[in-house]
Amino acid sequence: MDTVSKYVIATREFVCRSATYMGTLSGIMLFLGSFFVTSEVITRKYFGFTSKGTDDISGIILAWASSWAMAYALYKKGHVRVDVILVKLPYKMQGIMNLVALLALNFLLALVVLSMWELTFAAFKTGEVRPSALRIPLDWPYAVWAIGYTVFWFLAFLMLIEGIIDVIMRRFSTLAFKFGPSSIEAEIQEAMESSTVLKSNKVLE
């Protein structure tokens, strides 16, 4: 079981590193999208020119950026969780509840991802285009969008397998620490580190 656990952990860490790059690309996409919308507003107001594709392009960028950041947010514990009661439970109960949460997440993502790829393949088959002035084909935009959620699901699946192994080996405290919500102390430490980085940047300026 230890050997299987090591392979699962190694694979999860690889996916997490990939998710970090995807999260970086997500930030770049949001920056480019905001730059495009800003330039569109300026040219429309002062030069009377518009690309007629602000809604189309910004909507696609937002869909791509949000889906490609999902896996990064998962392993960084950035998704919203209601954990008022959970953190007060014993480690054994916390571990079991985290496993149930991962199971529910995997079930939901399975439905979402399968529906996404079904929609994507249908768009490739029918040549579906967006009903707008630009008539943008939706096949490749759908595919990029679906890839982000597929990586999200794969990471959640690896976390579920790792969690099941921890339960079998009765490592409940380890499970609670790895996949449970961040402690208040950890959140305070993260906030302090972010504040330190901002202060150092101001000094450099």
* Domain segments of the chain as ranges: 2-185
Which residue, among 78, 105, 107, has the nearest Cα to 181 in the 3D structure? Answer: 78
CA distance 29 to 10: 29
Please choose, from the candidates 87, 88, 79, 65, the residue with its C-alpha nearest in 3D space to the C-alpha of residue 108: 79
91 pLDDT above the threshold of 70: yes
Q: Residue 6 pLDDT > 60, yes or no?
A: yes
Q: In the structure, what pLDDT confidence band is assigned to residue 67 with cuts at 50, 70 and 90?
A: very high
Q: How sure is the predictor about 204, in pLDDT bands with cuts at 50, 70 and 90?
A: very low
Helix (H) or strand (E) holding 127: none
Under a CB-based contact definition with an 8 Å cutoff, are residues 151 and 145 in contact?
A: no
Q: Residues 148-176: what's their mean pLDDT?
A: 90
Instruction: Reduce the DSSP state of residue 129 to 3 states and report it.
Output: strand
H helix or E strand, kind and range, residue 16: helix 2-46
Which single residue is written with the structure tokens 């961040």?
A: 182
